Amino acid sequence: FERPEAAIMRQPPRRANAPILSRFILWRVFLVSILFAMGIFGQFALAQMQGAGLDEARTMALNTLVAMEVFYLFSVRYRHGWSISWQGVKGTPAVLIAIAIVIVLQAGFTYLPFMQTLFDTVALSVWQVAQCAAAGVLLLVVLEIDKHAANLWKRLGSEMTAARE
């Protein structure tokens, strides 16, 4: 489905005795979990502070979760390069089709009357949908900064090791 990153063949293979869950992966799982929790619960609290009822706040929290998952999908597109690029966005047609399907299904979940009755959701305004999407964009930006900081740290560490040798 997807082309590999440009320099993938220049990367050394993982050491045979290296753990499957590297420090970077463990850090990323922790960071993403914290950011998702902050985004979802923050959106719920913000909605209630803005006067939303419980059903409306829950609907915003759920839409925030879905938006964050969509933007997280873009963030993991590349391990070393910037995911925020035209190539990162247009990337794989199958992913774009899947995201379009998720958005349509989420809109149905939020706006179809029988779904609202079934799940106690309410229709959101354009502004509220934008707030949910903003949480996803913020997640993408934070994860891109983290990814490039980790790559810079790794590069500096290997340069320091090479300088000592």
DSSP annotation string for 79-130: SSS-SSSHHHHHS-HHHHHHHHHHHHHHHHHHH-HHHHHHHT--PPPHHHHH
75 located within any domain: yes
What does the chain come to in residues? 165
Tens digit of each residue's pLDDT, the chain (165 residues) = 566 666 677 777 878 888 888 888 898 899 999 999 999 999 999 999 999 999 999 999 999 999 999 999 888 876 666 666 666 667 678 888 999 999 999 999 999 999 999 999 999 999 999 999 999 999 999 999 988 888 787 777 666 555 555
Query: Domain total for the chain?
Result: 1
Q: Does 26 fall in a domain?
A: yes
Handedness of CA 96, 100, 144, 24 (dihedral sign): negative
User: Is 16 within a domain?
Assistant: no
Residue 11 inside a domain? The answer is no
pTM beyond cutoff 0.75: yes
Enclosing domain of residue 116? 22-164
Nearest to 82 by CA among 12, 23, 5: 5
Phi and psi (nearest 5°) for 50?
Answer: -85, 5
